[in-house]
Amino acid sequence: MSSTQTVSPPGAPPTKTGPSLVGRVLTTPTVGPLIFLVLAIAFFSIKSSAFLTGGNLSLIVQQVMVVGTLAIGQTLIILTAGIDLSNGAVMALGQIVIAKLAVDSGLNPILAILLGLAATTAFGLANGSLVTGLRLPPFIVTLGTLNIAFALTHIYSNDQSITVSSSTLTFFGKTFPLGGTDVTYGSVFMIALYVLAWYVLKYTASGRHVYAVGNNPEAARLTGINTRKLLLTVYATAGLIYGIASLLSIARTNVGDPNAGQTDNLDSITAVVLGGTSLFGGRGSVIGTLIGALIVGVIRSGLQIVGVESIYQVLITGILVILAVALDQLSRRRTA
Q: Which of residues 60-99 bind other proteins (CB under 8 A)?
A: 62-63, 66
The least distance separating other proteins from the CB of residue 144, rounded to whole angstroms, comes to 20
Asked if 142 and 86 touch (Cβ cutoff 8 Å), the reply is yes
Asked if 14 and 269 touch (Cβ cutoff 8 Å), the reply is no
What count of other Cβ atoms lies within 10 Å of the Cβ of residue 258? 25
Confirm or reject binding of residue 228 to other proteins (CB under 8 A).
no
Closer of 5 and 105 to other proteins (Cβ): 5
Confirm or reject binding of residue 319 to other proteins (CB under 8 A).
yes
- If binding means CB under 8 A, how many residues of this protein chain bind other proteins? 98
Contact with other proteins (CB under 8 A) among 105, 180, 311, 333 = 311
Contact with other proteins (CB under 8 A) among 159, 174, 192, 195 = 159
| Cβ-Cβ contacts under 8 Å for 283 (sequence gap 6 or more) | 29, 79, 211, 214, 215, 277, 332
Confirm or reject binding of residue 56 to other proteins (CB under 8 A).
yes
Confirm or reject binding of residue 2 to other proteins (CB under 8 A).
yes
H helices of 204-309, in order, are 205-215, 217-222, 227-253, 264-274, 286-306
CA atoms of 316 and 158, how far apart (whole Å): 37
> What are the φ/ψ torsions at residue 281 (nearest 5 degrees)?
90, 160
Asked if 281 and 214 touch (Cβ cutoff 8 Å), the reply is yes
For residue 230, give Cα distances in angstroms to 74, 196, 200.
15, 18, 13
Instruction: Give the start-end residues of each E strand in the chain.
Output: 162-163, 175-178, 181-184, 255-256
CA atoms of 144 and 107, how far apart (whole Å): 30
Closer of 70 and 130 to other proteins (Cβ): 70
Binding to other proteins, residues 250-279 (CB under 8 A): 252-255, 257-263
Closer of 105 and 335 to other proteins (Cβ): 335
Contact with other proteins (CB under 8 A) among 10, 106, 177, 180 = 10
The least distance separating other proteins from the CB of residue 172, rounded to whole angstroms, comes to 14
Contact with other proteins (CB under 8 A) among 15, 134, 135, 333 = 15
The least distance separating other proteins from the CB of residue 232, rounded to whole angstroms, comes to 17
Contact with other proteins (CB under 8 A) among 42, 110, 111, 178 = 42
CA atoms of 263 and 85, how far apart (whole Å): 10
Confirm or reject binding of residue 320 to other proteins (CB under 8 A).
yes
Contact with other proteins (CB under 8 A) among 144, 304, 325, 331 = 304
What count of other Cβ atoms lies within 10 Å of the Cβ of residue 8? 9
The least distance separating other proteins from the CB of residue 301, rounded to whole angstroms, comes to 5
Beta bridge partners of 163: 255
CA atoms of 90 and 99, how far apart (whole Å): 14
Closer of 140 and 332 to other proteins (Cβ): 332
Closer of 67 and 141 to other proteins (Cβ): 67
Confirm or reject binding of residue 100 to other proteins (CB under 8 A).
no
Binding to other proteins, residues 188-227 (CB under 8 A): 200, 203-206, 208-209, 211-212, 215-216, 218-220, 222-225
Binding to other proteins, residues 101-140 (CB under 8 A): none
Closer of 130 and 273 to other proteins (Cβ): 273
Q: Which amino acid is present at 92?
A: A
